[in-house]
């Protein structure tokens, strides 16, 4: 267990050391995208929201029309086949397409009704997005809040890791004469870990 944990830790550290440039580039790109989204929301919030509504409406109508078209084509092909030569699979396939078309029509009708009823609320959402863009634009350092959070979290994890390593190596090392590996007695490790846990959980 100790060797596997050590190998995993070394692998994680090696991966971070080997990809720290990519991590930095991705973080910088994320900050740039966040700034761009703030500017975008302030200028094109209404256009984007209404464009999304229009795209989803067209997609729903197009999907419904496509399903009905497939049902019509299948029905036309089946009409050319005499009833005596029709197979149950063909009848079931036509029935399934009809059910799909009915379900798609129902979903599209419900979606259209929701859009029609909530059209005023959509305008309110547009106004809220514009106000949010203005608020974030007035407080640009707010975009750095995730960076501060991850730095604080990394510092806390680093501190806990340092304490764990300190506790783990608190006992006298036992050197194996065969392969020169260093190990610690598990009972001593657990005793030291328990003492450290009690100490830090009972601090005022």
- 144-200 confidence digits (pLDDT tens): 777 788 788 878 887 877 777 776 666 666 676 677 676 655 544 455 555 555 555
* Least confident piece of the model among 39-53, 56-70, 175-189: 175-189
Question: Domain for residue 101, yes or no?
Answer: yes
Question: Domain for residue 155, yes or no?
Answer: no
Q: How many domains does the chain have?
A: 1
Question: Domain for residue 46, yes or no?
Answer: yes
Question: Domain for residue 188, yes or no?
Answer: no
Average pLDDT, the chain: 76
Dig out the tokens for 116 from the structure.
Answer: 């029609």
pTM: 0.47
Contact assessment for residue 97 and residue 71, using Cβ atoms and an 8 Å cutoff:
yes
Question: Domain for residue 173, yes or no?
Answer: no
| Cα–Cα distance for residue pair 51/49, rounded to 1 Å | 5
Question: Domain for residue 154, yes or no?
Answer: no
Question: Minimal CA–CA distance to 193: which of 172, 173, 163?
Answer: 163
- Where residue 32 falls among pLDDT bands split at 50, 70, 90? confident
Question: Domain for residue 9, yes or no?
Answer: yes
Question: Domain for residue 54, yes or no?
Answer: yes
Query: 28 vs 166, which has greater pLDDT?
Result: 28
What range defines the domain where residue 6 resides?
2-139
């Amino acid at each position: 267990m100790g060797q596997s944990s050590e190998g995993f830790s070394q692998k994680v550290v090696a991966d971070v050391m080997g990809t720290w440039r990519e991590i930095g580039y991705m973080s910088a790109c994320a900050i740039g995208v966040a700034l761009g989204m703030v500017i975008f929301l302030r200028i094109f919030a209404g256009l984007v929201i209404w464009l999304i509504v229009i795209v989803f409406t067209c997609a729903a109508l197009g999907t419904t029309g496509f399903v009905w078209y497939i049902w019509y084509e299948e029905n036309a092909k089946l009409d050319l086949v005499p009833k005596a030569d029709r197979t149950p699979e063909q009848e079931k396939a036509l029935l399934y397409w009809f059910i799909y078309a009915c379900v798609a029509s129902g979903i599209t009708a419900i979606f259209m009704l929701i859009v029609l009823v909530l059209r005023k609320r959509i305008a309110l959402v547009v106004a809220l997005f514009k106000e949010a863009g203005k608020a974030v634009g007035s407080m640009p350092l707010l975009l750095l809040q995730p960076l501060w959070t991850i730095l604080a979290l990394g510092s806390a994890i680093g501190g806990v890791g340092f304490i764990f390593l300190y506790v783990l190596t608190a006992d006298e090392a036992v050197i194996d004469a065969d392969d020169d590996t260093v190990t610690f007695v598990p009972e001593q490790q657990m005793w030291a870990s328990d003492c450290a846990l009690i100490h830090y959980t009972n601090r005022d």
